[in-house]
Amino acid sequence: MPTAAATSIADKLHERVTAIVESTKGLSDAQTQQRPAEGEWSIAENLSHLCGEDARAFLTTVKRFIDEDVPTIDITPGISFFESRADASLADLVDSFRAQYEAIGSYLTALDASQLNRTGHVPLFKETPFGDYPTVEQFVTVISDFHLNGHVAQIASAKAAIGA
């Protein structure tokens, strides 16, 4: 039976994923390719970034907390990984994004309390309230509450800028 903490995190992930997926409904592939302004990511670039380097990147990172003893998780912000997905349709990007984060939610609900409390070294998080040795629970919370929420706002801003 999933822990309350794992269920809560999985529910938050699901809410954020739903918000992002819903925000793309009714958009054409051409609209999602439009950059809202010079130097800002298009909606497609945002989705590609959220998919990571490959379709399992984030899930693989979460699993490292369990499989390794205090893994170092190096995160380089600001990479869209879009070059390899430039020809992907909106539907493909959304499907890849949704599948990855649903798999993470399922994985989390299979973890027990001791697993959720395993730590990793995430240098990028040093200045966050969690510090640079977050637990699995804290790591996924940062991704859900800050990273995904930030992209919800970026996508909304991009939609407004392109008149969608």
Residue 113 buriedness (CB in 10 A; 0-12 / 13-18 / 19+): exposed
* Per-residue pLDDT tens digits for 7-22: 999 999 999 999 999 9
d(CA 130, CA 142): 9
Q: If you average pLDDT over every residue of the chain, what do you get?
A: 93
CATH code for the domain in which residue 77 is found: 1.20.120.450
pLDDT at 84 over 90: no
CB-CB contact of 62 with 140 (8 Å): yes
**Based on the structure, what is the number of domains in the chain?**
1
Predicted confidence at residue 22, as pLDDT, reads 95
User: Which residues have a Cβ under 8 Å from the Cβ of 69 and sit 6 or more positions away?
Assistant: none
Burial-class residue 80 by CB neighbours within 10 Å (0-12, 13-18, 19+): middle
The whole model's pTM is what? 0.91
The phi-psi region of residue 128 (left if phi > 0; otherwise alpha if psi is between -120 and 50; otherwise beta) is beta
Name the one residue in this structure whose structure tokens are 């990172």: 61
How many percent of the chain have pLDDT more than 90?
80
- How many residues make up the chain in this entry? 164
At residue 81, does pLDDT exceed 90? no
pLDDT for the residue 55: 66
pLDDT over 90 (residue 154): yes
Mean pLDDT of 121-125: 96
- What range does the domain containing 150 cover? 4-162
Residue 1's pLDDT is 73
Q: Which range has the worst mean pLDDT, 76-85, 120-129, 142-151, 153-162? A: 76-85
Q: What is the DSSP string of 45-110?
A: HHHHHHH-SSTTHHHHHHHHHHHSSS-B----TT----GGGTT--HHHHHHHHHHHHHHHHHHHHT
**pLDDT recorded at residue 77:** 87
